[in-house]
A and B are shown apart, each in its own frame.
Chain A
Amino acid sequence: MTECNYYQNLLQSKMDEKLTLTDQEDLALHLEQCTECRQMEKDLQSLQEVLSDWPEPVIPADMVSSVMDQIELLPAPSVKVPKWMWGIGFAAAYLMGALMIGLAGYLIWYYRPSVDTLRGLWEVSVIWVKEYAIVCRISLHDLYGQLAQTLSREGLYLVPGFYLAQISLFLFCLVVITWRKPKGFYLWSV
């Protein structure tokens, strides 16, 4: 009986995993001699067959709608980038930035002008600025003079006054409307 227990255990193991060659031979030899173990092998095989085809239960009719009701309340499953990928991306960006700055620095240093050239450039720039300022002042002076002469000649002193009155009226309306905040004001103002 102890011997049969051993082989029946082997029979069970045979259903779940591959037996060693020695075990297979031992088992075959035992099965030839033992009726009880042969019967057990037959039973286990038929059990195996039955268990390979499980009857399916009836699904509740509202299963899909119940699941979908819950899904409606949840956010969409977007593809998330893992944190480590963000880390790699930032590291690469920083590295590239550092390389570009380094390269620019190197080029600036390599092609730097001499001190004399810089001094010359500074002096030229100062002269340019001074000249430009003088030119602007003269132009403005001329423009003002021309405008004054034209207005007095044509009698159009009222024109600037008219524009000033129009702008004041507009600002007054804006202040009043903003203060009262009528419905749809913001839409209207847009």
Chain B
Amino acid sequence: MNMKQEWQTYPDSDLVQLCRTGNRSAYGVLVTRYQRPVYHLCWRLLGNPEDARDATQESLVKAWQSLHLFRINDPFGPWVRQITRNHCLDRLRVRSRQGWTVSLTDTESENEEMSVQDLTPGVRDQLMEEDDRKYLFQVIQNLPEIYRIVLTLRYLESLDIDTMSQELDLPKGTVKSHLHRARAILRTKMEKTHDRV
């Protein structure tokens, strides 16, 4: 068993210690270990695979640069997810430029009544054949940005309302209202799908 294979069995904290001595191969093991959840989170938050790919790379590079700040007794997974989340939210802020609320107002009216018909024909046909679950997540990806973000933070990241409010820099009431509306839209979509079937 060579060194790299042996590292696969090492706990995260040992690998981080190796990284701090300048060992890049040890970080390669960490990247392999956490690329999946990081990419998943980026994809859910940013809504498309191209941005997700860039954001994943940038987040993992940021994590490398911040390894000296990592407290060795803490778990590595949540720490790297926190970096990823902040990075994605920063990207989204830049994208929306004037903040979440404006972004929502711009897209709300046209997306509120979005239906399966609004999706691209390929996706629509594909969705008709797939089960409800896949359809639901496709709908989530096509929701207005802020709805997709709150759903991702609430269900993929399991954040509570207080934490979401802090991370999104929005009042708690607004976060709750976005969550309610997002769920209401999803519920409507599910009903429509069942009606169509």
Contacts and interface: CB of A to CB of B under 8 A. Distances in A.
Contacts of B83: none
Interface in A37-96: 40, 43-44, 47, 50-52, 54-57, 59-60, 63-64, 66-68, 70-72, 74, 76-80
A9 interface: yes
Q: How large is the interface on B (under 10, 10 to 19, 20 to 34, 35 or more residues)?
A: 35 or more
Contacts of B154: 16
Contacts of B67: 77
A64 B64 CA distance: 13
B43 interface: yes
A63 B183 contact: no
A77 B43 contact: no
B114 interface: no
A57 B57 contact: no
A120 B20 CA distance: 65
Given A16-B176, A64-B28, A78-B20, A50 B39 contact: no
Interface string A11-25: 011011100000000
26 contacts: A12-B180, A13-B176, A16-B179, A43-B187, A47-B186, A50-B133, A50-B136, A51-B155, A54-B137, A54-B155, A54-B156, A56-B36, A57-B40, A57-B52, A63-B53, A64-B32, A67-B31, A70-B57, A70-B61, A72-B24, A76-B19, A76-B20, A76-B21, A77-B19, A79-B68, A80-B68
A68 B183 contact: no
Nearest to B67: A77
Nearest to A77: B67
A57 B43 contact: yes
A47 B193 CA distance: 14
Given A17-B161, A54-B156, A44 B183 contact: yes
